[in-house]
Structure 1
Amino acid sequence: MATKHRPEHHSELQVESPMDYAQHEATYNGFITLVKWTVLALAVTTIILYFVIKP
């Protein structure tokens, strides 16, 4: 014979802490700055290698 199960009571939903947008934007801006400098360094390295290793 099947028994009826009562629905279990769930605890209240926990609201996550709000995202720290200032820190997020600072990290993103740091990442973008790093990418810009890396691209610039690779371009300069490529140009230098072009003139140093001539065919």
Structure 2
Amino acid sequence: MADHSEVAFTTADGMDYPAHEATYEGFIMLVKYGTGTVALILILMAIFLL
């Protein structure tokens, strides 16, 4: 059987954590503002299309 004593990401080369964190922050911002935009569009549709 394979030896699983080490976690792969702790020994992997090329892990760029600052870039990873920046990408994650960008994703969270996109989801937050995207959700707000869709909610605003739905509210405006409810007001003006009824």
Interval containing the TM-score (normalised by the shorter chain): 0.7 to 0.9
**Residues in 1 aligned to 2:12 and 2:37: alpha-carbon distance in whole angstroms:** 41
Alignment gaps of 5+ in structure 1: 1-14
- 1:33-44 residue pairs with structure 2 within 5 A? 33-44=29-40
State the TM-score, normalizing by the size of structure 2: 0.72
**Residues in 2 aligned to 1:16 and 1:35: alpha-carbon distance in whole angstroms:** 30
Aligned-pair Cα RMSD in Å: 1.3
The residue number in structure 2 matching 1:26 is: 22
Alpha-carbon shift at residue 18 of structure 1 (Å): 3.7
Higher helix proportion (structure 1 or 2): 2
- Corresponding pairs, count: 40
**Residues in 2 aligned to 1:35 and 1:20: alpha-carbon distance in whole angstroms:** 23
Alignment gaps of 5+ in structure 2: 1-10
Q: Name which structure has the greater RCO, CA cutoff 8 Å, separation 6+.
A: 2
Alpha-carbon shift at residue 44 of structure 1 (Å): 0.3
User: 3-state SS of the aligned residue for 1:19?
Assistant: coil
